[in-house]
Amino acid sequence: MYSIKGKQADRIEPVTFSELNMTENDIEEILRNSIDMICDEEESMLIVGR
């Protein structure tokens, strides 16, 4: 993955969720609050349960 700023691309080093001290609940919360990360305006997604 790369971060692009203007005409400069900088490589982003991968990290694991465990290295970030994140749990499955943390990841679920992020997805619930930012569902547009995995679908766009033309698609729809319904969160059924937790």
CB within 8 A of 32, min separation 6: which ones? 47, 50
Which pLDDT tens digit goes with each residue over 1-50? 999 999 999 999 999 999 999 999 999 899 888 888 888 777 777 777 77
CA–CA gap between residue 24 and residue 37 (Å, rounded): 17
**Confidence (pLDDT) at 16:** 94
**Confidence (pLDDT) at 6:** 94
**Confidence (pLDDT) at 47:** 74
Q: Give the dihedral of Cα atoms 24, 25, 29, 35; nearest 10 deg.
A: 30
Three-class DSSP category at 44: coil
Domain boundaries along the sequence of the chain: 18-45
CA–CA gap between residue 10 and residue 34 (Å, rounded): 24
